[in-house]
Structure 1
Amino acid sequence: MRTNLERRTALLDAAIEVLARDGARGLTFRAVDAEAGTPVGTASNYFANRDDLLIQSSHRVYERWLPDQATQAAAAQGPRDQAKLTELMREIIERVTGFRSGYLAMLELRLEATRRPELRTVLTNRVRADVDANVAYHLDQGMPGDATSVRLLILALNWLMVEMLTLPELFTPEELDELVVAAVERGLAPR
């Protein structure tokens, strides 16, 4: 397998675009090469097989979703209250939906994982690590609510993002923001 990191990254970014546009069934080495603008056969030199391409693509989506240092620094500033948590949820939604093709590709990968045990294992481990990291961050930062609150916010806001990206006319921007505020408020409500 080839090791040119820049070319590998370009091929993975192209694979994400193909997944988002054409679905998992449209993801072929030839389609990735066409999207990346590379000669036919290039993708097959970088990935052992289609499963490898699917798995590597999932890793790349998460890599691109990571917040930059400025975003991380801003998250650490200010009081640890409901308003701050709402602000953080808005930022996450903006960052994740800002990479629309990544989210749509991830939906395709999740569907494909129902048929591919190795991909399911990779995604399960990755999503579990992401949930655990979010819970740990929330608790370590002294944000209001508990681990269950964080998990409920993840579930609610993930589906909100699905609606935003797949049926963008369903809710107005104002309605979406009201839903984020309500999700945080109700997720923090005492039991």
Structure 2
Amino acid sequence: MNRKVNYTLLIEDDAYPEDALFSVLEHMIDNRIENKFAEFKSMDRNVTYVKFYHPPRLLGYYSLEVERIPELLSISVLFGTIMCGIYPYLFSKSKYSMNKMWFLFIVYSCLVAIAIGRQSIMEFRRISKHLFQVTPAPSCCTPALLFPQHGGQKVVEYMQNVKCRNKYAKDMLLEDVKRKHGLVGLLVQPNLFKHIGLYSSLRSKVLDPFIV
């Protein structure tokens, strides 16, 4: 931060990058944070940090993150409508009305999406850097973080005035910084890093791979 760089990428030693990291990173900075190519510049989003990893088990539809409900409904309506449009060409006669068929296809698409899992559906976004999703960041887990200069400086200043203590990890500190200064954290999905560390020095034991 003393060098006044625009961005600082902080990577823990057990975080392994995906091949698309730098192309997505550049696109995300230009179009989601700085909005360089927007006709009208949006107001500064006061970004504290951008996360590039969140445990896959926490990325599903069964989550407290509210944006995933509209996401599930959108997928269900989209594919339900497509199937409803195709159905008359495959089956000319039906005992159900079109509205009822549409509703049934939406419910069916919703159940299929849940069965497949949001984590698997999100993998299709890797086709292009333009399809990666940016959402508000949950507090847990920080293997790979990008700090804009303003947000990073706030974090450094805050860390200089607090003491480490039991059950007060880095992710909790970052949440406190966001609340104190009215900042936001962002999460890029799907993950651009893999968490390859299995041994926890805090717990002094090998962790279940499912939880990391």
* TM-score normalised per structure 2: 0.22
Larger radius of gyration between Structure 1 and Structure 2: 2
More contact order relative to length (CA 8 Å, sep ≥ 6) = 2
Structure with more helix by fraction = 1
